[in-house]
Amino acid sequence: MIEYRGLDSVEPEPNAVVSVGTFDGVHLGHQRLIRRVRELARESGGRATLVTFEPHPQLVLRKVDRPSIKVLTPLEEKRELLAELGVERLVVLDFSPEFAAIGAEEFVEEVLVRRIGCAAVVVGPDHGFGHSRQGTIDTLRMLGSRLGFRVELVTELLLQGEEVSSTAIRRILTRDGDVKKAASFLGRYYEVRGTVGHGAGRGRELGFPTANVLLETPHKLLPKDGIYAGYAVVGGKKLPAAINVGVRPTFDGGHRVVEAHILGEKVGELYGTPIRVLFVERIRDEVAFSSVGELIDQMKDDVRKTLQILQEHRGSLVEQEER
């Protein structure tokens, strides 16, 4: 996959097939759209081209009295996932208030047609573009007829009676912590990335040493506070882990952390190592215990449940994809 940051280095390709969006999560709906982009690109003899934005537009346009959006896939994750899906050209446009002011027709004429080039544009059902998302699918079809490109609409994907969307996945993760359902929408386990850093050392004192994950970006969405069964991927190895997301209320709380108790691995040897934490299934809420002994007993049960859950998930479609 060739990646362009901005438009200056992009060579226009008249036969390219293009889709535009944030593609946050690169979920099953996005994946279906990308497959159609690739199919049309083969027919046209051009390359499958995606246009996305950095940072996420809602980080730039949000009102000061509204909480900042948390993203499912920061650019590094998104880049890897799109390459795996066969995207041939990725154009990353710097999103700013000035860029947001570009009108819909100007965006299509100047960016898509003149600077990037396109034989076809593929969009999802809720696609909007240009200033204040004034451009609609009808706008795009009108411009396509005038400027000589095809427009194709890919309908929404429904799972469990619900539309697969980035908004739905954020709600599933933050409201319910239902990482299992989120995985069914994503087609893979939800994950966070970072490096193993030094924590307070309490896990080691309790007999359950944890890898404290220093997140790559503060804008990454974390699942609802609680204990999860999952995996830690370090040094090329995928290891079972009991994962805590939260503030450790038994010890008077603090800032939110992600900690992974990696089963069968010495955490002290991992400091400074890149780590991916994959969430398989939620075990319980994070709660304050009346004593350290009670906490230790619960942690033993969490480890037991983790191993049981991971065994049950072996052979699942997501598990096969992760392998």
Beta strand pairing call for 257-262 and 211-215: antiparallel
Confidence of residue 59 (pLDDT cuts 50, 70, 90): very high
Angle at alpha carbon of residue 212, lines to 292 and 179, rounded to 5°: 90
pLDDT at 160: 83
Number of other residues whose CB lies within 10 A of the CB of residue 233: 18
Mean per-residue pLDDT for 220-242? 95
- Contact between 245 and 222 under an 8 Å Cβ cutoff? The reply is yes
Which is more confidently placed, 252 or 126? Answer: 126
Which is more confidently placed, 256 or 173? Answer: 173
pLDDT at position 322 over 70: no
pLDDT at position 254 over 80: no
Per-chain mean pLDDT for the chain = 91
pLDDT at position 323 over 60: no
Q: How far apart are CA 101 and CA 57, in angstroms?
A: 12
Mean per-residue pLDDT for 34-48? 97
Q: How far apart are CA 116 and CA 139, in angstroms?
A: 19
Q: How far apart are CA 107 and CA 125, in angstroms?
A: 19
Mean per-residue pLDDT for 41-51? 97
Angle at alpha carbon of residue 192, lines to 190 and 195, rounded to 5°: 155
Mean per-residue pLDDT for 58-86? 92
Confidence of residue 251 (pLDDT cuts 50, 70, 90): low
Per-position DSSP letters for 197-224, written without gaps between them: E---SHHHHHT---EEEEES-TTB--PP
Each residue of 141-178: pLDDT tens digit? Answer: 999 999 999 999 999 999 989 999 999 999 999 999 99
pLDDT at position 58 over 60: yes
Q: Where does residue 161 rank: exposed (0-12), middle (13-18), buried (19+ CB within 10 A)?
A: exposed
pLDDT at position 267 over 90: no
CA 165 to chain CA centroid, Å, is 11
Q: Where are the alpha helices (DSSP H) in the chain?
A: 28-44, 57-61, 75-84, 97-100, 104-106, 137-147, 166-171, 179-186, 202-206, 292-313, 317-322
Which is more confidently placed, 248 or 12? Answer: 12
pLDDT at position 222 over 60: yes
pLDDT at position 35 over 90: yes
Q: How far apart are CA 274 and CA 195, in angstroms?
A: 4
Domains in the chain, ordered, with CATH? 2-156 (3.40.50.620), 185-322 (2.40.30.30)
Confidence of residue 200 (pLDDT cuts 50, 70, 90): low
pLDDT at position 8 over 70: yes
Confidence of residue 258 (pLDDT cuts 50, 70, 90): very high
Beta bridge partners of 310: none
Confidence of residue 202 (pLDDT cuts 50, 70, 90): low
pLDDT at 287: 87
pLDDT at 128: 85
pLDDT at position 315 over 80: no
Mean per-residue pLDDT for 262-285? 88
pLDDT at 265: 66
Which is more confidently placed, 291 or 194? Answer: 194
pLDDT at 67: 80
